[in-house]
Amino acid sequence: MKGSYVLIIKLDENKNIKVGSLGKVNFRRGYYLYVGSALNGLEKRIRRHLSKNKKIHWHIDYLLMEGDVVDVYIKIGNTKEECEIARRFSEKYPSIEGFGSSDCKCGSHLFFSDDKEDLIGMAKSLGMFAFR
């Protein structure tokens, strides 16, 4: 299966987390939505993100060591849509500048909200559906 995905991550308390080349990042308690894509194995990519036992490789890996994925939404397709999805989230939610977007021109692929249901509503409005 190919497509794009969003992870909704809950962080129970404020944390300073070292995130690779971004250095120390201050994360507020609440919900974070991370946008990604996998055009060669969507399920495998999501399983990797859900695993706590992995080699740290991407920016998101640092946050996932501290927070918990509470929802996953996907959009199946053969084209890379993550930047368009990230752009739509950037119109409504604050982001962590440069997070997860080192290989594109987006400002960020990580967005924040206090309201998980609002994030889910936005994902659904973009044609995404629950993965698990």
63-96 pLDDT, tens per residue?
999 999 999 999 999 998 999 999 999 999 999 9
As for how many domains the chain has, the answer is 1
Q: How far is CA 7 from CA 32, 40, in A?
A: 8, 18
Q: What are phi and psi of 85, to 5 degrees?
A: -65, -45
110 has a pLDDT exceeding 80? yes
Domain range for 24 is: 3-130
104 has a pLDDT exceeding 90? no
Give pLDDT tens digits for 24-67.
999 999 999 999 999 999 999 999 999 989 999 899 999 999 99
How far apart CA 94 and CA 92 sit, in angstroms, is 7
